[in-house]
Amino acid sequence: MNALLRPEGSGGGESWRDVSVSLGSDAEVSGRLSFTTATRIEGRLRGEVKSADLLVVGPQAEVRASVQADVLVVLGKVYGNVTRAERVEIRDGGLVFGDIHTQSLVVEEGGVFDGDCRMRKNPGATPPGAGET
């Protein structure tokens, strides 16, 4: 998923609205969730979420969790750290309060990111010199 993700109707590219799994706005989930296909969250999620594909946090969603996703698109609220991401997009109206470890970070005008960001080619890799005393 290296193409820039675009909303429907923006011409070309992949649409982040085309997902296989969706947690509706009336859903409230706590615990550990893991997905292997593109997923969209519209409700409330608390705990831990892992996605081996695209994860979209919809405009009404509130995620209070540690998040691992290949590609994360935030339109709603995420409270927690994001790790092992190839790409994180915080769209207009999206909020991320936590640290992000990713290869690529895009914050649109109107998006909010409050935390630290570490960017490297392999976001799960240990930085050079780490662990040396």
Q: Which residues, 6 or more positions from 133, have their beta carbon under 8 angstroms from its beta carbon? A: none
In a domain, 7, yes or no: no
Q: What is the pLDDT of residues 56-97, one digit of tens each?
A: 999 999 999 999 999 999 999 999 999 999 999 999 999 999
pTM listed for this prediction: 0.78
In a domain, 99, yes or no: yes
For residues 103 and 1, what is the distance between their CA atoms, to the nearest angstrom? 13
Given this model, what pLDDT does residue 78 score? 98
For residues 8 and 98, what is the distance between their CA atoms, to the nearest angstrom? 28
The residue whose two tokens read 């969706």 is 22
The residue whose two tokens read 């705990």 is 47
In a domain, 128, yes or no: no
Q: What is the pLDDT of residues 35-62, one digit of tens each?
A: 998 899 999 999 999 999 999 999 999 9
pLDDT, average across residues 96-100: 98
Q: Could you give the number of structural domains in the chain?
A: 1
